Amino acid sequence: MLDIKQIRETPQIVQERLNSRSDYDIQPLMQLDQQIRELEGMRSQLQARSNEIGKLVGQKIKAGLNPQQPEIHSLREEGNQIKTQLSELEPQEKDLKAQLETLLLALPNLPSASTPIGESETENVEVNRWGDEYIPQNPDILPHWEIGESLGILNFERSVKVAQSRFVTLIGAGAALERALIQFMLDRQIAAGYVEVMPPILINTQSLTATGQLPKFAEESFKCADDDLWLAPTAEVPVTNLYRNEIIAAEELPIYHCAYTPCFRREAGSYGRDTRGLIRLHQFNKIELVKFVHPSTSEQEHQQLVQNAEAILQALQLPYRVIELCTGDLGFSSAKTYDLEVWLPSAGTYREISSCSNFMDFQARRGSIRFKEAGKKGTQFVHTLNGSGLAVGRTMAAILENYQQPNGTVRVPQALQSYLKRDVLTNGAS
Q: State mean pLDDT over 98-102.
A: 95
pLDDT at residue 203, as a whole number? 98
Q: CA torsion, points 297, 298, 302, 303, in degrees to nearest 10? A: -30
Q: What span, in angstroms and rounded, lies between the C-alpha atoms of 374 and 369? A: 17
CATH fold group of domain 121-425: BirA Bifunctional Protein; domain 2 (3.30.930)
Of the candidate ranges 69-73, 100-104, 279-283, 392-396, the one whose mean pLDDT is the lowest: 69-73
Strand partners, 340: 322, 354
Q: What average pLDDT does the chain have?
A: 94
What whole-number distance in Å separates Cα of residue 17 and Cα of residue 204?
31
pLDDT at position 355, please? 98
Is residue 103 within 8 Å of 25, Cβ to Cβ?
no
Q: Is residue 271 scored above 60 in pLDDT?
A: no
pLDDT given for residue 275 in this prediction: 74
Provide mean pLDDT across the span 302-320: 98
pLDDT of residue 65: 78
Largest CA distance in the chain: 108
Q: Catalytic: 121?
A: no
394 catalytic residue (yes or no) = yes
Catalytic residue among 50, 298, 355, 357: 355
DSSP-derived pairing of the beta strands 169-170 and 246-249: unpaired
User: Does residue 352 carry a catalytic annotation?
Assistant: yes
Q: How confident is residue 70, by pLDDT bands cut at 50, 70 and 90? A: confident
Active-site residue among 21, 188, 365, 394?
Answer: 394
Q: What is the distance between the alpha carbons of residues 290 and 389, in angstroms, rounded to a whole number? A: 10
Q: Is 280 a catalytic residue?
A: yes
pLDDT at 263: 97
Q: Which residue has the higher pLDDT, 406 or 54?
A: 406
The residue annotated as part of the active site, out of 267, 324, 352, 373, is: 352
Active-site position among 21, 280, 366, 370: 280
Length of the chain: 430
pLDDT band, residue 268 (cuts 50/70/90): low
For 278-333, where are the E strands, in sequence order? 283-293, 320-324
* Active-site residue identified among 188, 265, 351, 370: 265
